[in-house]
Amino acid sequence: MSTPQSYEAAVTGSPDQVAEFDQGHQSFIQRLQHALHVTPSLVPLIVLILSIVTFGALLGSKFFSPFALTLILQQVAIVGIVASAQSLVILTAGIDLSVGAIMVLSSVVMGQFTFRYGLPPALGVACGLMCGAACGFVNGWLVARMKLPPFIVTLGMWQIVLAGNFLYSANETIRSQEISAEAPFLQFFGEKFKIGGAVFTYGVLFMVLLVLILAYVLRHTAWGRHVYAVGDDKEAAELSGVNTDKVLISVYMLSGLICAFAGWALIGRIGSVSPTSGQLANIESITAVVIGGISLFGGRGSVLGTFFGALIVGVFTLGLRLLGADAQWTYLLIGVLIIAAVAVDQWIRKVSV
Amino acid sequence: MEPILKGRGLVKRYGRVTALDHCDFELMPGEILAVIGDNGAGKSTLIKALSGAVIPDEGTVELDGKPINFHSPIDAREAGIETVYQTLAMSPALSIADNMFMGRELRKPGWRGQVLRQLDRARMETMAREKLNDLGLMTIQNINQAVETLSGGQRQGVAVARAAAFGSKVIILDEPTAALGVKESRRVLELIQDVKSRGIPIILISHNMPHVFEVADRIHVHRLGKRLCVIDPKQHEMSDAVAYMTGAKEPEQEMSVA
């Protein structure tokens, strides 16, 4: 009788180079699916380019001018900034319904601290930013330490922060003329500069920089990888040595801070400090994230996709308005886009199963 | 000789279910200790209590004679205890290299690492490739492919390679060969011997008796939440071990003390 292990002796002759396969002829669809799987932000980029080309063809130079195209950037700046914050949270398989409320409260704090207490505008802005980060910290702490579902936590915080905003501001608006006379620093993100026919604001510049920085951080730092790992499988991330509580709290705090920056940009955009502004930021930011191809289940997608998603909404809004269509057509088409984006996401996923 | 890792009177209850019932445990320096037991005997809970994934309700754990209080697997890893869990603990959407270095990423030297905190992907990929080659996982083509595209056996290989690469005091392997092919199982067993020859003790949980009897120095038989006995594989048959762990046979008195 042979030894029990002798069947393993046959292994010795096996080759020890890394396996390679002839991929054979791949159809165009297969290669496209693979490319989309590897680079998830490609889908919204293609949709964005197609929609720009379509509206350009329909409207000609009215749409294809540097002025109109940069106007889109100005119009999406706030949503783009908030959606970047939303992307971080959704990548961790959470959701932040309080982004709009945090943004408004932060802008109110910036305005009221400057005008009611006479702080220097820069200090007022700093207080507003801290207020946003603090709201984010509360969200993060409740989600990470108390293990409450993000949807519930941020739904509650949305109401709490919004009510706090109305109570604190006494529903009082600080007018644009006052701000530009006494504290123009609050409107910093609204200041414009021109390059040729293109008009940019510092808010637009901030949005683009923010997206690039976040894209770098998520892709090339350990923290960024941990954000994906937590969204992908929180328990696995924890067992393999990620401090998931710390990652979650930092994500929600950063989200709050970015929303506060959006609040600052909001003052620049509308000129005044109004506690009733920015009510749609929640739903618009989630729309941009979904159209941008980030999975609501976490762990997949990129912040560049969100940026393209926000731009797609901007292109549709301006393009349809220039065409003279009813504004409801915009909402209808965006609704179609949301469903289409998720359908495409599911199709791309198939390669991974 | 003092045990390197020692548990005394460990108790863990999940509601009314008792998973560990005043369990003792000893791992000697440089040995391979197999832990065997029926399903539901509490092996996994014992391992989790030693690796920080579960905090025992009662009892003490000592590493190198010093009492330790792990609150999370991160604490245990920092103390040099590396674990391969049955669930493998990997992020499916991330790449093999990302997973192997999860929680201890390498940064680029110089300002790009320190100021920009940029990851050194090239170095991580080279190291990951080496570790996989050591294990004979030649069927993995691309170190950057997502873990979800790997087969179950390949995933397990990656998890074992990760533990072997980073464990410094104790390595815990929970069913490391369960999903592996013949060649890969053999490599894992060789790797276990290899790790042992580096002086690092190993805890091996397995249902595969031939593997257990081949590599283990001592066998901890776990039954009904506690240590029933410790047997020497050279003096016992596999059938004895199976009889003890299933309760078909009671161990002699002196063995339960050993």
Has residue B242 been placed in a domain? Answer: yes
pLDDT of A118-160, one tens digit each?
999 999 999 999 999 999 999 999 999 999 999 999 999 999 9
Has residue B126 been placed in a domain? Answer: no
The residue among A198 and A255 whose pLDDT is bigger is A255
Average pLDDT, chain B: 87
Domain boundaries, chain A: 41-347
Cα end-to-end distance, chain B, whole Å: 14
Q: How far is CA A82 from CA A151, B3, B59, B175, in A?
A: 17, 56, 49, 46
Domain A41-347, second-level architecture: Orthogonal Bundle (1.10)
Has residue B49 been placed in a domain? Answer: yes
Q: Is B141 on the interface with A (CB under 8 A)?
A: yes
Looking only at the bridges linking them, the beta strands covering B202-205 and B32-37 are parallel
A228·B182 Cβ contact <8 A: no
- Chain B residues whose CB is inside 8 A of the A234 CB are none
- Chain A residues whose CB is inside 8 A of the B83 CB are 239
Rounded CA gap, A117 and A106, in Å? 15
B89·A352 Cβ contact <8 A: no
What is the percentage of chain B residues whose pLDDT exceeds 70?
A: 97
Q: Give Cβ neighbours of residue B212 (< 8 Å, ≥ 6 apart).
A: B34, B36, B204, B206, B219, B233, B241
- Chain B residues whose CB is inside 8 A of the A300 CB are 93
Has residue B106 been placed in a domain? Answer: no
Contact A248, A155 (CB under 8 A): no
B93·A20 Cβ contact <8 A: no
pLDDT of B104-141, one tens digit each?
888 888 888 888 889 998 999 999 888 888 777 777 77
Q: What confidence score (pLDDT) does residue A1 get?
A: 42
B138·A222 Cβ contact <8 A: no
**Which residue range(s) make up the domain with B27?**
5-91+166-257
pLDDT of A253-305, one tens digit each?
999 999 999 999 999 999 999 999 888 899 999 999 999 989 888 888 899 99
Q: What confidence score (pLDDT) does residue A351 get?
A: 58
B102·A229 Cβ contact <8 A: yes
- Going by pLDDT thresholds of 50, 70 and 90, the confidence category of residue B255 is low
Q: Is A20 on the interface with B (CB under 8 A)?
A: yes
Q: Is B238 on the interface with A (CB under 8 A)?
A: no
Hey, what's the torsion of the CAs at A295, A298, A301, A305, to 10 degrees? 70
Rounded CA gap, B149 and B93, in Å? 9
Q: How far is CA B198 from CA A17, B6, B194, in A?
A: 26, 21, 7
Task: Count the domains in chain B.
Answer: 1
Has residue B247 been placed in a domain? Answer: yes
pTM of the model: 0.87
Has residue B161 been placed in a domain? Answer: no
Interface predicted TM-score of the whole assembly (ipTM), two decimals: 0.83
Q: Is B13 on the interface with A (CB under 8 A)?
A: no
